[in-house]
Amino acid sequence: MRATLARFWDGDLAWSWRHTPVAMVATFLLIALLVAAFGAPWIAPHNPFDLATIDLLDALKPPVWLVDGTTKYLLGTDSQGRDMLSALMYGTKVSLLIGLAAVAGAMSLGIVLGLISGYAGGRIDALIMRVADVQLSFPAILIALLIDGVARAVVPGDMHEVIAFPVLVGAIALAGWPQYARTVRGSTLVEKNREYVQAARVIGISSPVIMFRHVLPNVLGPVLVLATVHLATAIITEATLSFLGVGVPPTSPSLGTLIRIGNDFLFSGEWWITIFPGAALVLLVLSVNLLGDWLRDALNPRLS
């Protein structure tokens, strides 16, 4: 274990990381956000969803450095007296979970379809790629919005809160698979003529096994880069859908939902209810984007 870690630390990727200050800052920022999000049940100062601890008298308190602020609520409270800092931490968790699940879904779907497309070729390939082409010509957010909207129309209103999570994940995943499929297909086309694949075929290994056991590990590099950048997009898409009111319900708000709630108080001067979730969202997306940019450059020596 230690030896592997030491080898990784001395490797090209770690070297590049240690010599790219932006990547280091982005990593630490992301780690801090991850800890705050997933450690929320333990480290958050309040539990914003525990009705017993919420007091309406504490509603709309400004952050601590303003006139009416108290140290009890460092970033102020919302209209129901919920602590903003805690709501932010829980909200970041929801945003991250949906983003990660959607990326995993899009990645799995894209990898499977891309492998089949590249390995099988012929009509299946043409069909899959045509669908991907058409889908890519529409913006992902529009497709996610349509899927989300249709799902809401199909399911009766009182079920919306239950299905909000899976529907969001599914919509964002379905909107994101074509890029993975294209990338994987491209690499598969190259890999399938390599000797190791021919050798595997000669000794009679079945196509699915060759695809997933032998080709897949060799096409994963670009997919991981894509996944990093896609995570940022997926988080933005989720936030946008939630902001539009067709995403996560206010009972377990994501960052987008928090911004939507806060938007109603913009004109009455309680700017912190909107701006803090917005800032958290930007920091999250920015750190993921910066890491993705660095990873792309580091894994692709031709670019530098």
| CA separation, residue 221 to residues 20, 225, 235, 254 (Å) | 20, 7, 22, 31
Which residue in the set 122, 204, 269, 301 belongs to the binding site for another protein (CB under 8 A)?
A: 269
Please give the Cα distance from 99 to 172 (Å, whole number): 8
For 138-169, b/e burial (b = at least 16 CB within 10 A) is: eebbebbbebbeebbeeeeeeeeeeebbebbb
Residue choice 37, 54, 227, 239 for contact with another protein (CB under 8 A): 239
Site string for another protein, 147-176 (x = CB under 8 A): -xxx-xxx--x-------------------
**Site membership for another protein, residue 232 (CB under 8 A):** yes
Which is nearer to another protein, 169 or 246 (by Cβ)?
Answer: 246
Rounded CA-CA distance 246/226 in Å is 27
Q: How far apart are CA 13 and CA 19, in angstroms?
A: 10
Contact 231, 295 (CB under 8 A): no
The closest alpha carbon to 297, from 26, 110, 83, 39, belongs to 26
Assess 85 for contact with another protein (CB under 8 A).
no
Q: Which position among 101, 145, 175, 227 is part of the footprint of another protein (CB under 8 A)?
A: 145
- Least Å distance between CB 288 and another protein? 9
Q: How far is CA 235 from CA 119, 157, 275, 287, in A?
A: 32, 25, 17, 12
**Residue 230 Cβ vs another protein, minimum distance, rounded to whole Å:** 14
Q: How far apart are CA 78 and CA 265, in angstroms?
A: 9
Considering only 70-78, 111-119, 132-140, 210-218, which stretch makes contact with another protein by CB under 8 A? Answer: 132-140
- From 42-50, 100-108, 110-118, 260-268, give the range in contact with another protein by CB under 8 A: 260-268
Is 285 a binding residue for another protein by CB under 8 A? The answer is yes
Q: Say whether residue 37 binds another protein (CB under 8 A).
A: no
Closer Cβ to another protein, 89 or 239, answer by number: 239
Out of 289, 296, 297, 299, the only residue in the binding site for another protein (CB under 8 A) is 289
Q: Which of 44, 290, 291, 298 binds another protein (CB under 8 A)?
A: 290
Contacting residue, 29, 30, 64, 275, with another protein by CB under 8 A = 275
Q: d(Cα 227, Cα 233) in Å, to the nearest integer?
A: 10
Taking the C-alpha atoms of 120, 137, 160 and 245 in order, what is their torsion angle to the nearest 10 degrees?
Answer: 150
Nearer to another protein, 197 or 246 (CB): 246
Residue numbers at the binding site for another protein (CB under 8 A)? 130, 134, 137-139, 141-142, 145-146, 148-150, 152-154, 157, 232, 236, 239-240, 243-246, 259, 263, 266-267, 269, 271, 274-275, 278, 281-282, 285-286, 289-290, 293
